[in-house]
Amino acid sequence: MIKSVFQIHRKCVRRWCHNTARRPYILGIESSCDDCGAAIVSSDGKILGECVMSQQNCHLRFGGIIPPVAQDSHRNHIENVVKQTFTQAERTCEGIDAIAVTNRPGLPLSLLVGVRYAKYLARKFDKPIIPVHHMEAHALMARMTNSVPFPYLCILLSGGHAIITLVKSTNDFYILGETVDDAPGEMFDKIARRLKLRNIPQYAWLSGGQAIEQASSKCHNPASYDFPAPLSQYRDCQFSFAGLKNSATRQIILQERVLDLPPDVVIPDYEDFCAGLMNATVRHIAHRTKRAIRFCEGEAFWPTGTKRCLVISGGVASNNVIFNAISNLAAAYNFETIRPKPAHCTDNGIMIAWNGIEKYITGQNITKVYNDIDIFGRANFGTNLIQKVKDANIASQ
Ligand code: KG4
Ligand code: ZN
């Protein structure tokens, strides 16, 4: 049923694109986790309006994301966020061609708010909806502002994910590696909280990852904490951040005991500690990236002379230490490393609108059968090549 609607619509879109010089405009709505975002984007990558309401301060106060609290905040803000986006864009809902909305994966209570609001608008203004996979949107975001031809390698590093994927088209993802436990942002957030960086005013309102990056840049002795890079003996591209989180937590507890620190006091050499943690994180991501590049070279995905791109996206990609290290590594293999600007790496409505554009112009996943659009807390992402990478048994140190 859905398929036939898509097919009919695909024909309409082609005819429509052929008959008019006007570019499609898509409204994107993101509410998969704790950021409530909306944006209107045109097919030439122009952002007409955008608005993000971050709940970071609220969650910092609670010490983490509490799903019903996140849902309440989305409910309170979504209408205003969308209204502000339309005001900035100087257009009404009649002036857009479709509504793209994140429907998977994410916190179900949060996803529900965005999807319901998208359906409400779509019904009211008779617009099609494009359901969007949050991680696909992160992976395709760089194409809005840069020339990134398919296929390309993409590393997605966020508060919920760590994935290395080969992107063959807007709808075709091959997973080379993913985390077996925690995500890097989750590890940074938990360690920053355990370090009590919030008690230092300059870090109080930053995300864990931002706080650790800034603190590590002020280190005096980067070698004083040495954390082992995880999974280095395994010849795959899998990630693991739980071991790093546990050994970092043990180190903090040990230091606090040795120095007999009162409960609210941060260990004195926390900047060196953060540098040690950053260093191990970078080494781990670099090991996995190097093997992914060598695997792709073995598979000859890029004919000689074609442009090879490596995209880094997701909230953790805004980390300059990680970005610079991966860029240098990739350059040695003739890859150009690209990342969306920091505000586009974290969750936002622009990446959802852009994903909507990519889907709209190729006529994929567009529907007016609103009742068929469901939300999914978990969702498959691409074709799994993890075992194939393991079987390739590539040494890379
Ligand atoms: O993609 P995102 O906005 O939300 C998720 O989908 O998870 O990523 C948020 C994560 C948080 O865990 C935050 O600590 C991390 O990205 N992050 C950073 C940096 N900025 C944000 N991690 C490392 N370095 C940063 N500069
Ligand atoms: Zn995200």
Ligand 1 atom nearest the C-alpha of 318 is: 26
157/246 same-domain check: yes
Q: 3-7, 63-67, 342-346, 370-374: which range is least confident on average?
A: 3-7
Q: Alpha helices of the chain — where are they, by DSSP H?
A: 2-19, 56-62, 67-89, 108-125, 134-140, 184-195, 208-216, 242-259, 270-299, 320-331, 342-345, 349-362, 386-392
CA of 139 to the centre of ligand 2 (A): 10
Ligand closest to CA 352: 2
Task: Please check whether residue 41 lies inside any domain of the structure.
Answer: yes
Q: How far apart are CA 397 and CA 393, in angstroms?
A: 13
Q: Tell which one of 52, 135, 207 to mutate to probe ligand 1, the residue whose CB is within 8 A of the most ligand atoms.
A: 207
The pLDDT of residue 17 is above 80: no
Element (H, E) at 102: strand 98-104
DSSP string, 183-224: -HHHHHHHHHHHHTGGGSGGGTTS-HHHHHHHHHTT-S-TTS
Q: What percent of the chain has pLDDT over 90?
A: 85
Answer yes or no: is pLDDT of 137 > 90: yes
> Is residue 54 very low, low, confident or very high in pLDDT (cuts 50, 70, 90)?
confident
Whole-number percent of the chain with pLDDT over 70:
91
Using the mean position of ligand 1's atoms as its centre, give its distance from the Cα of residue 315 in Å.
3
User: Does the residue 396 lie in any domain?
Assistant: no
Higher pLDDT, 361 or 7: 361
For the ranges 1-5, 119-123, 220-224, the maximum mean pLDDT occurs at 119-123
* Structural element, H or E, at residue 336: strand 336-338
- The string over 198-207, giving b where at least 16 C-beta atoms fall within 10 Å of a residue's C-beta and e elsewhere, is beeeebeebb
| Least confident residue range of 14-28, 146-160, 302-316, 365-379 | 14-28
**Do residue 360 and residue 299 come from a single domain?**
no
Q: Mean pLDDT, to the nearest integer, of 333-346?
A: 94
Least confidently predicted of 12-26, 75-89, 291-305 = 12-26
Ligand 1 atom nearest to CA at 32: 6
Mean pLDDT of all residues in 311-320: 95
318 and 182 in a common domain: yes
How close is the Cα of 188 to the center of ligand 1, in Å? 8
Is position 303 within any domain? yes
Q: What is the mean pLDDT of residues 342-356?
A: 95
Last residue of a domain, one of 320, 339, 358: 339
The reply to whether 393 falls in a domain is no
Three-state SS at 386: helix
**Would you say residue 346 has pLDDT above 60?**
yes
| pLDDT band of 4, cuts 50, 70, 90 | very low
Residues 126 and 210 both lie in one domain: no
How big is the chain, counted in residues?
397
Asked whether the beta carbons of 374 and 164 are under 8 A apart, the reply is: no
314 and 263 within one domain: yes
Atom 14 (ligand 1) nearest CA:
209
Of residues 295 and 10, the one with the higher pLDDT is 295
Q: Is residue 386 part of a domain?
A: no
Report the domain count for the chain: 2
pLDDT digits (tens, 9 = 90+) for 55-109: 666 556 666 778 999 999 999 999 999 999 999 999 999 999 999 999 999 999 9
| Per-residue pLDDT, 395 | 86
**Model pLDDT, residue 142:** 97
Task: Tell me how far the alpha carbon of residue 304 lies from the centroid of ligand 1, in angstroms.
Answer: 35
pLDDT band at 12; cut points 50, 70, 90: very low
Please write the tens of the pLDDT for every residue from 159-217: 989 999 999 999 999 999 999 999 999 999 999 999 999 999 999 999 999 999 999 99
Tell whether 167 and 286 lie within a shared domain. yes
Verify that 198 and 114 share a domain, yes or no.
no
Any domain includes 395: no
Ligand 1, pocket residues at CB < 6 Å: 33, 158-160, 185, 188-189, 207-210, 213, 314-316, 318-319, 346-347
Final residue of a domain: which of 339, 361, 390?
339
What pLDDT, on the 0 to 100 scale, is given for residue 6? 39
Over residues 341-360, mean pLDDT: 95
321-329: long-range contacts (C-beta < 8 A, 24 or more apart)? 321/213, 321/216, 321/217, 321/278, 321/282, 322/157, 322/278, 322/281, 322/282, 322/285, 325/282, 325/285, 325/286, 326/155, 326/285, 326/286, 326/289, 329/286, 329/289, 329/290, 329/293
Domain-embedded: residue 239: yes
76 and 157 within one domain: no
pLDDT, mean over the chain: 92
Q: Which of 65, 83, 128, 117 is nearest to 347 (CA)?
A: 65
What CATH number is attached to the domain comprising 75? 3.30.420.40
Region for residue 169 given its phi and psi (left: phi exceeds 0; alpha: psi -120 to 50; beta: otherwise): beta
Residue 379 has pLDDT above 90, yes or no: yes
Residues 141 and 171 in one domain: no
Structural domain contains residue 255 = yes
Q: Which domain holds residue 201?
A: 152-339
Contact of 230 with 248, CB cutoff 8 Å: no
Is 130 in the same domain as 33? yes
Do 247 and 169 fall into the same domain? yes
CA of 344 to the centre of ligand 1 (A): 11
- 375 versus 7: the higher-pLDDT residue is 375
- DSSP-derived letter for residue 138 is H
* Residues 185 and 82 grouped into a single domain: no
